[in-house]
Chains A and B, each alone.
Chain A
Amino acid sequence: MGGEKAKNSSLREPFLNELSPVDSVAGLEELRVRYLGKKGLLTSELKSLGGLPPDERRAAGAVLNETKEFIEQALAQRKQELKDLELRRKLASESIDVTLPGSYVQPGRIHPLTQTLEEITDVFVSMGFSVEEGPEVELDYYNFEALNIPKEHPAREMQDTFYVSNDIVLRTHTSPVQIRVMQRKSPPLKFIAPGKVYRCDADISHTPMFHQIEGLMVGEDITFSHLKAVLESFLHRIFSPDVPVRFRPSYFPFTEPSAEVDIGCIFCKGTGCRTCKGSGWIEILGAGMVNPHVFEMVGYDPKKYSGFAFGMGIERIAMLKYSIDDIRLFYENDIRFLGQF
């Protein structure tokens, strides 16, 4: 009995020895045929069982079947291993340099002035202001006269004007949009008007074209303290919630009282530097209560309505926001500049 068992077990040993160097699915199949094929080693032993007495045959058969199962399992397991290995090899051979750049259309950038303009617009839109437009080539009437700046008014000197004809100018500010909208719509009103404006002025800190945003709010009980609050919350949104804001008296023909609005210098935090000319403050926008003369010009009753208007230069805010030190960079359109924003 013991001898029979040893004989059967001895098939496992050579099988395992033959299995270990096999490194392909094909080799594995060869091995299977060698042991389990019609003329395989194990098959022939099974066939030879017929010559044994029934008792021994049963015992030896059980051992052989066990061995057969063992071989089948070992082959299957090995086959899976080899398949995995082959896949890994195949994938490894397909490796690419993942550090090479990807294929895509590199997006361009939006001009920093546009980004600043849109950011400001969004703040006011979120406060319920709508957005209006007006012509860039404008009648003298809308640009000056309806804004309480008659011909020969010294305030015209504040704005060097490009003339197309005696009565037609390139708008020197976005304020004429105020008049055009008020002529078209009745109060209450709350809108901003972003756009390009022109002054015949070109030096290190001025360009003949630049951008402004104008704002107007008109209603029955609009006060100077509303003006202060709206502009203060705007400046806190654009710069930072803790930036100091101050209002000081100024002069614009179309508003009264008028104010110049400063923020605490964001570079030196108020101690004084080159940007703020040592004052610790940076002028950021002009504002005021709408002058009753302007309401009269558009047929609003100044006894009934009050309102505030404001205007700001976008270049200045963009320069502060991005620490740009030369206004002319905005208009050179050098891609090394444009690509940074």
Chain B
Amino acid sequence: MRVSFAWLSEFIKTGLSVEKIAHMLTMSGLEVEALEAALNDVILEVNVTPNRADCLSVLGVVRELSVLTGEPVILPSSVIKSKEENEKDLLPEIKVEIRNAELCRRYSGRVIRNVKIGPSPEWMAKRLEDYGIRSINNIVDITNYVLVELGHPLHAFDLKTLKGGRIVVDTADNIYRKIKTLDGVERKLPENALVIADAEDPIALAGIMGGASTEVEESTTDIFLEAAWFEPVNIRKTAKALGLSSESSYRFERGADIEIIPFALDRASYLMQEYAGGVPHKAVDVFPGKKIPRAIEVNAQRVSKLLGTDIQKDEIIKILERLGFAPKWNDSLITVFPPSYRLDVEAEQDIVEEVARIYGYDKIPTILPVSRLSAREAPLRSNFIKDARQNIRRSGYNEAINFSFMNPQAFELLSLNDDDIRRSAVALINPLNQEESLLRTTLLPALIENQKHNLQRGLRNIRLAETARIFIKRNTGELPIEHLMLAGISMMNRTYSFWRNGTEDFYCAKGAVEALLDEFRIRDRSFGPCGEPFLHPGKSADVMVSGQRCGFVGVLSPTVREKAEIKGKEDITVFELNLDVIFAALPGIPVYRSIPRFPAVERDIALIVDESVNAAQVIRKIKEYPSELIENAVVFDLYKGEGIPAGKKSMAFNVRYRATGKTLTEEEVEQIHEGLIKDLLVHTGGSLR
């Protein structure tokens, strides 16, 4: 809220500079975000928190300054000349009927005759404009002026358009269906919207906006000026339903001061008398919702205990008195009666806060808590996530972070089947745009987009990985399932380096996945056939961990590349792993197995087999061979080309033999090895090279 320093200074004489005042306000909870120079004035940009509706005016800020400095508030003039002179003659003329006293606890107003519509005085227009309200005419400006000055919204109706000399305050129902508001929009009244009506039609959306039919115009000579109190939640609901917000609704929905109504009405009447030549009639004041001031109890010891300071009872009482809370006390129990404008003060903690902020947060000591030592839970999961990130980083991937949103077109981009679980995406009711209207079910589309972004900027050798949650929709009303995923994308330029590493890109990506699983000592893993529609069918694998599908790794299919419009001849490899599956599969503390005491003997086998035979199959066969002496087997060479018949390939394996209790002899090894070779030839249909 923008507050004029000159205006403020009319209501309190502090003798302090505007900078000093800004600092005092900031340190007591009314943050002054900026000071802005204006003509013969300085504007304070005050950030009023939603609980402090009482500060949404010049008076509100002045009251706050009065608490802080002890200087009194000087109220502006509201003397109505006609009041005593002609009270009998100038009857109220308007009969007010409140049909819902819960939603309208007070309704006041008066007729003001003989107003001359014209421009406002220059100073008034300037103050309104400095605040941010456009000057319209003297009558409308005065209602706005009082709104800014005292914080209470007022409304002026053109008296001649008011039918039947009646004001009815009621909720919208079958009788009141529509209203054309001041902004010229015809609006359907939402259910339970509070309206002001005359004898026939709704003439205003209570507390939000006046109606067009009763608008004050050039030709207006008599007005009916309204000052009322409307219930905050109702105003808020109606304003929200209509998507309509005004200076008036902003204050009513935060809570207006019911007791200031007569003064606000008189103040505006006074200004209309002075600056529009109006003759105010006797006011009408219907007040069915009068409440006795509420008492709140607070224990002085509890205040100092909660704040951790030894603030004394006397000082607490002094602060409460300055706040106008009228404290009474009995021992350490203090009872307060907050003023009508402090609707936010309801309970003991509110009093504690009031005392603390006026006392000064800076005066509260800083004391580190003494906490009993306890072996708290190790942050296992957050350490695991951290380790996963670090590991994938060491495989060359930069960490990316994308928004959790997904474009519905991603399903098409990835050619996902109709029954693919990743089509069960959570949709937002109010997305920022169509491209960000779903929550991600896979991290791939964003990474593909990142890859494109970098390529378009002429960058090469891009490896990106992201650790983030995906969201799979469940039944309506249920929260979606959230899984933590780790996905990567890589596109490396082969001619970049002095060395030409002959390794297929697929194996680089697979290597990153294997390094990750190694990091966590996950031995129970395998790579099997993969049916992901967006991957190259011959260069992709499902990643299995502890018998569960954990994700995939592979080369992005040419179709996806084409759809994504990614150029270049290098393979793009991707992987996406479910970290929740890996976390669940983490092995416990390793159990030590003794280091072998006897030497191993190694033998190599080179087989020529059909291209369809894969290394994992051969190794499985070796390990299944019925001999306890086979300790391990690895593939160490793959060859196709000259010397090997078409459709065949040569693979070389190294087999390690070891006995636990003795040194194996050459003869023993030879015997088993020959048996193993025969077995392999039978099972693979291959031949020795």
Contacts and interface: CB of A to CB of B under 8 A. Distances in A.
Interface of A: 100-101, 103, 105-111, 113-114, 118, 121, 125, 128, 130-131, 133, 135-139, 152-155, 157-158, 162-165, 167-168, 170, 188, 190, 194, 196, 198, 200, 202, 207-209, 217, 219, 221-226, 228-230, 232-233, 246-251, 256-260, 277-279, 289, 291-292, 306, 330-336, 338-339
B399 A338 contact: yes
B477 A137 contact: no
Interface in B444-498: 450, 453-454, 457, 459, 462-465, 468-469, 471, 476-477, 479-480, 482, 497-498
Given A108-B392, A125-B379, A164 B429 contact: yes
12 contacts: A137-B479, A154-B253, A158-B50, A165-B429, A165-B477, A170-B428, A200-B431, A221-B305, A224-B307, A226-B367, A257-B361, A334-B457
B357 interface: yes
B75 to A, nearest CB: 26
Interface residues of B, number: 91
Nearest to A302: B349
Q: Which 5 residue pairs of A and B lie closest in terms of their CB atoms, listed nearest first? A: A223-B308, A225-B308, A249-B29, A251-B49, A249-B357
Contacts of A139: 479
Contact of A109 (B398, B427, B428): B398
Given A109-B393, A219-B369, A232-B366, A335 B479 contact: no
A106 B237 CA distance: 57
B507 to A, nearest CB: 13
Given A130-B379, A249-B353, A135 B347 contact: no
Given A152-B236, A224-B306, A251-B52, A108 B368 contact: no
B398 A338 contact: yes
Contacts of A258: 353
B499 A103 contact: yes
Contacts of A190: 371, 376
A152 B479 contact: no
Contacts of B404: 136, 170, 196, 198, 209
Given A233-B368, A250-B31, A162 B362 contact: no
A207 B432 CA distance: 11
A335 to B, nearest CB: 5
B361 A111 contact: no
B430 interface: yes
A316 to B, nearest CB: 15
B552 interface: no
Given A109-B399, A163-B428, A224-B307, 16 more contacts: A108-B463, A108-B464, A111-B400, A111-B401, A136-B471, A137-B439, A162-B428, A190-B376, A208-B436, A221-B305, A223-B367, A232-B366, A249-B29, A251-B49, A260-B31, A338-B398
Given A228-B364, A246-B362, A136 B482 contact: yes
B223 to A, nearest CB: 31
B619 interface: no
Contacts of B381: 131, 133
Nearest to A228: B366
Given A108-B398, A251-B52, A260-B31, A289 B306 contact: yes
A225 B309 contact: yes
Interface stretch (B262-270, B382-390, B587-595): B382-390
B430 A163 contact: yes
Interface in B395-410: 395-405
Nearest to B392: A108
Nearest to B376: A130
Contacts of A221: 305
A308 to B, nearest CB: 9
B233 A152 contact: yes
B647 interface: no
B401 A248 contact: no
Nearest to B454: A335
Interface string B398-427: 111111110000000000000000000011
Contacts of B74: none
A225 B364 contact: yes
B356 interface: yes
B361 A259 contact: yes
Contacts of B366: 225, 228-229, 232
Given A114-B401, A165-B477, A157 B50 contact: yes
A128 B376 contact: yes
Contact of A155 (B50, B372, B377): B50
A137 B426 contact: yes
A222 B23 CA distance: 29
Interface centre among A128, A152, A291, A335 (most CB of B within 10 A): A335
A137 B470 CA distance: 10
A223 B305 contact: yes
Given A137-B479, A256-B349, A101 B367 contact: no
B353 A257 contact: yes
B352 interface: yes
Q: Is the interface of A mostly helix, strand, loop or mixed?
A: mixed
Contacts of A121: 382
Given A224-B364, A256-B352, A333 B402 contact: yes
Contact of A202 (B27, B307, B348, B432): B432
Interface string B223-241: 0000000001100110000
Nearest to A278: B34
Nearest to B439: A137
A250 B34 contact: no
Given A154-B254, A251-B51, A277-B34, A292 B349 contact: yes
B28 interface: yes
Interface in B110-131: none
B173 interface: no
Nearest to A115: B399
A292 B428 contact: no
A257 B349 CA distance: 7
Contacts of B465: 108
B356 to A, nearest CB: 5
Nearest to B51: A251
B33 interface: yes
A108 B454 contact: no
Interface string B495-531: 0011100000000000000000000000000000000
Contacts of B307: 223-225, 257
Nearest to A121: B382
Given A100-B498, A110-B389, A133-B381, A248 B29 contact: yes
B641 interface: no
A302 B630 CA distance: 67
B406 to A, nearest CB: 12
A226 B386 CA distance: 30
Nearest to A283: B31
Given A162-B431, A249-B361, A277-B34, A154 B236 contact: yes
A190 B87 CA distance: 68
B365 interface: yes
Nearest to A202: B432
Contact of B430 (A125, A200, A256, A334): A200
B683 interface: no
B350 interface: yes
Contacts of B476: 165
B479 A251 contact: no
Contacts of A103: 499
B550 to A, nearest CB: 20
Contacts of B49: 250-251
Contacts of B350: 256
A229 B368 contact: yes
A163 B427 CA distance: 9
Contacts of A209: 403-405
Contacts of A153: 50
Interface string B296-309: 00000000011111
A229 B480 CA distance: 39
A157 B240 CA distance: 11
A289 B429 CA distance: 34
A161 B436 CA distance: 15
